[in-house]
Structure 1
Amino acid sequence: MKLTCITLIFVLFSAVTQAQKKNIPLDSIRLSDPYILADKDSQTYFMTGTGGKLWKSKNLKFWEGPFTVVEIDPESWMGENPMIWAAELHKYQDKYYYFATFTNRDTIIDTVAGNEIERRASHILVSDQPQGPYKPMEDEIYLPADKPTLDGTFWVDEDQKPYMIYCHEWLQNGNGTMEKIQLKSDLSGSIGKGKILFRAKDSPWSKERNEKGEVVANKVTDGPFLFKTETGKLGMLWTSWVFQDYVQGVAYSKSSTLDGPWIQEEKPITPPNFGHGMMFKTFDEKLIMALHSHRVGSQGNYIRIPNLLEVDDSQDKIYITGKFNINN
């Protein structure tokens, strides 16, 4: 009888816990680097980002989650409990792929200007379904072990080959880069070496002050996302800083291939303290940018909330037309 009561209590507790995870308004979720996959097969939106969790929704207004979807090998370079940043979900050749940045804080790979740099790299996991679980593939390492890399995203270029586009972090090189590396046909590993597409200093809009107080280009590259406009122009969203403001810009490839050259827009595309964006189409074909708002809380912590904006891509460049009304 006692065991039955304990079992009943557990079942009831589980049901209540599950109920608390449903019907979550989007603006109630605290999430950096939101990425939304609109999965047509299930007619469901799947959202992930920093933290390694996943939410799902049928209408973009109310969400269910968070769910744990990642399985890692504790014997790998990631260690037992890696930090997970900027996770993305991509469907490719009937599989679902989880691109994310993993950090092993127990392993130091370099020391620059007195700062210890932790083992951090973009990596890819795979699943047969969008809700996971996502598991490691063949190659243990996609990018050099002695470089801190982050925010890997996915693109199939005009040569029909798959690539990862990622950042080599400014903490090591002093001027963050945006780079590409070719992937195997099943994304289970990388081929060859990375190639620099552009550097943080190439941006005319990102700014900071150096140790002399002079205004210079900011050194941070963050959050790449590739897209093509309806006219076939290849563009890239990416984020940096304008002094204390977290801001997103856009670059366009003159050749409409990854090899560029990449021409930076003169001004950011988002208001101050919105960034790390990506774009997807709703099931009724509206083009939406998902990104997070950024502010500093009273305890000095970052407070980041997913936001949705409508985008016009009918010309050679994209334009934000306003906030997406999720009530419609």
Structure 2
Amino acid sequence: MKKILFVLTLAVFNLMLVHAQNSEPALRVDIPIDSIRLSDPFILADKITSTYYMTGTGGRLWKSKDLRKWTGPYKIAQTDPQSWMGSNPMIWAAEIHYYKGKYYYFATFTNKAIRVGDNLERRASHVLVSDKPDGPYVPMKDSVYLPADKLTLDATLWTDTDGKSYMIYCHEWLQNDNGTVEKIELKPDLSGTIGGGKILFLASDSPWSREKEKDGKDRPNKVTDGPWLFRTQTGKLGMLWTSWIYDVYTQGVAYSQSGTLDGPWIQEKEPVNGSNFGHGMLFRTFDGKLLMSIHSHKSINNRTVRIPHLFEVDDSGDKIVVGKAFN
């Protein structure tokens, strides 16, 4: 029953996203970050243009020179209507990565008209490319990065110690009943993938997430969400990721024992920041300060409201420490 209710809630949320993404909102100027409604906020600090670019779920872009006042939203993704995505795909958890002279748009695309598996909407991680940080972002050579029958989401980019670049993504818990974080090698120009995916860890590896079994017993939550890779100043490889503690959206962190993507990944016993925050990422400001971009997750008048927030982070040791809010 809990899974059915979750799917119904997700369907309503999807309908709202479709309406929002198909409409053209008016451009807004000098908007404080806490006045923006945005899930999965990702910020690129682009030194070439001396501008911060924020994107996330919805496929829109915001721009800022100081992280305090933002202008947007701009539409920047141009997908191929003849592809599996269809004419109006939903876009989740978009990220912008500068790599070897170009900008790459990693995002989750959903086509509600195509069903896979147990009557689930086709959803997959994919990559677009642009010569500019504010797009437009367009398709590359490969039309598919991951198997068509596999629900994947929240892809990010990481170059490992072997010099190869990888897509890190989640396999949806709705399909496998125990979400995963996985890696797959990318082609040198990021235009497609090489070989198959490899599981890095399972949702059930979490010591802090919780949900109830049908018999009322506790178990680790099934959800894996929002992976983000980083290295501390001591060289320790870590990964932020998000799940739930019952109905509370919560972010944890794991560290690789080997210092590579292959792990093994050792999960921290406690979440890395406060309750009702998740899907975080790290970036360094133009003056060298390390910040976490993350969204709050709250129910207000029976509506889920997600707002971007920035927190200072200390990465001087083997483990990150999340500090005060950035003002």
- TM-score for the superposition, normalised by structure 1: 0.91
Matched residue SS, 1:54: strand
Corresponding residue pairs, total: 304
Q: Which residue of 2 aligns with 1:205?
A: 208
Using the alignment, how far apart are the partners of 2:255 and 2:25 within structure 1?
44
Q: Which amino acid aligns with 1:38?
A: A
**Cα drift, residue 19 of structure 1:** 9.1
Q: Which residue of 2 aligns with 1:238?
A: 241
Q: Give deviations 1:252-272, integer Å, cap 9, x for gaps.
A: 000110000000000001111
Using the alignment, how far apart are the partners of 2:71 and 2:168 within structure 1?
30
Using the alignment, how far apart are the partners of 2:230 and 2:312 within structure 1?
15
Q: Which residue of 1 aligns with 2:257?
A: 254
**Cα drift, residue 127 of structure 1:** 0.2
Q: Which amino acid aligns with 1:81?
A: N
Q: Give deviations 1:208-256, integer Å, cap 9, x for gaps.
A: 0011111100000000000000000000000000001000000000011
Q: Specify whether residues 20 and 194 from structure 1 end up closer, same or farther in structure 2 by C-alpha distance, changes over 3 A only.
A: closer
**Unmatched tracts of structure 1, length 5 or more:** 1-16
Q: Which residue of 2 aligns with 1:130?
A: 133
Matched residue SS, 2:136: coil
Using the alignment, how far apart are the partners of 1:285 and 1:20 within structure 2?
30
Match of 2:324 among 308, 318, 322: 322
Using the alignment, how far apart are the partners of 2:157 and 2:254 within structure 1?
16
Q: Which residue of 1 aligns with 2:94?
A: 87
Q: Which amino acid aligns with 2:57?
A: T
Q: Which residue of 2 aligns with 1:106?
A: 113
User: RMSD of the TM alignment (CA)?
Assistant: 1.2
Q: Which residue of 2 aligns with 1:21?
A: 28
State the identity %.
65
**Cα drift, residue 142 of structure 1:** 0.2
Matched residue SS, 2:29: coil
Q: Specify whether residues 231 and 209 from structure 1 end up closer, same or farther in structure 2 by C-alpha distance, changes over 3 A only.
A: same
Q: Give deviations 1:253-297, integer Å, cap 9, x for gaps.
A: 001100000000000011110010000000000000000000012
Matched residue SS, 1:172: helix
Matches within 5 A, 1:278-289: 278-289=281-292
Q: Which residue of 1 aligns with 2:273?
A: 270
Larger radius of gyration: 1
Residue 147 (1) aligns with residue 150 (2): yes
Residue 51 (1) aligns with residue 53 (2): no
Matched residue SS, 1:22: strand
Q: Is residue 91–residue 108 contact of structure 2 (8 Å, CA) maintained in 1?
A: yes
Q: Which residue of 1 aligns with 2:181?
A: 178
Match of 2:69 among 62, 69, 89: 62
Q: Which amino acid aligns with 2:83?
A: S
Q: Give deviations 1:151-175, integer Å, cap 9, x for gaps.
A: 0000000000000000000001000
Using the alignment, how far apart are the partners of 2:27 and 2:270 within structure 1?
42
Q: Which amino acid aligns with 2:316?
A: S
**Cα drift, residue 178 of structure 1:** 0.4
Q: Which amino acid aligns with 1:169?
A: E
Residue 72 (1) aligns with residue 72 (2): no
- TM-score for the superposition, normalised by structure 2: 0.92
Match of 1:40 among 36, 47, 61: 47
Q: Is residue 25–residue 73 contact of structure 2 (8 Å, CA) maintained in 1?
A: no
Q: Give deviations 1:59-85, integer Å, cap 9, x for gaps.
A: 000000000000010010001111100
**Cα drift, residue 110 of structure 1:** 1.0
Using the alignment, how far apart are the partners of 1:20 and 1:153 within structure 2?
28
Matched residue SS, 1:42: coil
Q: Which residue of 2 aligns with 1:5?
A: none
**Cα drift, residue 301 of structure 1:** 2.5
Using the alignment, how far apart are the partners of 1:301 and 1:206 within structure 2?
23
Q: Which residue of 2 aligns with 1:13?
A: none
Match of 1:301 among 300, 303, 308: 303
**Cα drift, residue 21 of structure 1:** 1.3
Q: Specify whether residues 179 and 59 from structure 1 end up closer, same or farther in structure 2 by C-alpha distance, changes over 3 A only.
A: same
Residue 96 (1) aligns with residue 96 (2): no
Using the alignment, how far apart are the partners of 1:240 and 1:284 within structure 2?
32
